[in-house]
Amino acid sequence: MTKWPTYNELLNVCNDYVQKEQGDTNYEIPLTWVQQHWDDTQRLAGAVRIFEETWNRAFYNSARGIFDMTRLTNSLEKLKPYLNTLKSREIDSFGQQDEQILSVLWNELFESLRPRNKPDRPFIATTKALHLLIPTFFVPLDNKIDKHYSCNIVQPQGYIKFQHLMAEFASFVLNSYVTSQGGDINKARSSICGDLYIQKTGSKFKKSLAKILDEYNWMIYSQKKG
């Protein structure tokens, strides 16, 4: 059984993340672009490209190249009805009822995100794209995070398992705030993801809880040597 951190422990790690990364400009710019141009799938595809070429540049290197933009644009157009149903969802609400729609999103994006020059399997790229498109609901991962949570199995079953774990993680964090500070889950989310996050980390940006969980995972598991 995983021992999840409290909201204070979580935010202390996020402070280390913000200091190490010197802020989050390369995250906030494509995220803002997605929010401003949600109805324009060509611009959405452009935001995904910018995001992958910065956050995932080790994969989309000069040898592999980037994915086919026309194919991604067409995929996003096809997936838009599914994405629209998830826009207001939070990671702690993820449940068994979401497994089918996640499989549909995964299978389509996975193929459209293959690099053009060397079509390797874009496992991590797919989770990053999902997070960028629905940043409150999907948590990105990388190989070390994947391995730590024993989600490095056949996909998308591995990512579905990861999402269930992150929903459990998020619920624990929110409840730790309610237990300590009172109020309800909505107050806990608003505080943890808003003013409290900014005060604790010095960040200029508020974050979704899904992004905050990713910052914790990245600092604790991705930055470990070995």
pLDDT at 1: 58
pLDDT at position 224 over 80: no
156-184 pLDDT, tens digit per residue, is 999 999 999 999 999 999 999 999 999 99
The three-point CA angle 215-216-220 to 5° equals 120
Q: Considering the chain, what percentage of its residues have pLDDT values greater than 70?
A: 99
Q: Render pLDDT for 188-223 as a digit per residue (tens, 0 to 9).
A: 999 999 999 999 999 988 999 999 999 999 999 998
The residue among 178, 144, 175, 148 whose CA lies nearest residue 161 is: 148
21 located within any domain: yes
226 pLDDT more than 90: no
With CA atoms as reference, report the closest residue to 71 among 119, 29, 143: 119
In a domain, 43, yes or no: yes
Does residue 160 belong to any structural domain of this protein? yes
* Residue type (1 letter), 110: F
User: Does the pLDDT of residue 8 top 90, yes or no?
Assistant: yes
- 81 in a domain, yes or no? yes
User: Looking at the domain assignment, is residue 30 inside a domain?
Assistant: yes
pLDDT the model gives residue 24: 79
At residue 22, the pLDDT reads 80
Average the pLDDT over 142-154 and give the result. 96
Residues 6+ apart with CB under 8 A from 203: 18, 23, 24, 197
Could you tell me which of 145, 138, 150, 142 has the C-alpha nearest to residue 101? Answer: 138
The overall average pLDDT reported for the chain is 96
The tens digit of pLDDT for each residue in 50-96 reads: 999 999 999 999 999 999 999 999 999 999 999 999 999 999 999 99
Tell me, what's the pLDDT at 2?
76
Which pLDDT does position 26 carry in this prediction? 84
* Structural domain includes residue 57: yes
Instruction: Report the distance separating Cα 191 and Cα 86, nearest Å.
Output: 22
Q: Give backbone dihedrals phi and psi of 67, rounded to 5 degrees, phi first.
A: -75, 170
Query: Would you put residue 138 in left (φ > 0), alpha (ψ -120 to 50) or beta?
Result: beta
Q: Is residue 1 part of a domain?
A: no
**CB-side exposure of 26: number of CA atoms within 13 Å?**
12
Q: Please identify which residue in the block is written with the tokens 């409150």.
A: 136
> Would you say the pTM of this structure is higher than 0.85?
yes
Asked if 15 and 215 touch (Cβ cutoff 8 Å), the reply is no
Number of domains composing the chain: 1
Domain that holds residue 181: 7-222
For residue 2, being part of any structural domain is answered with: no
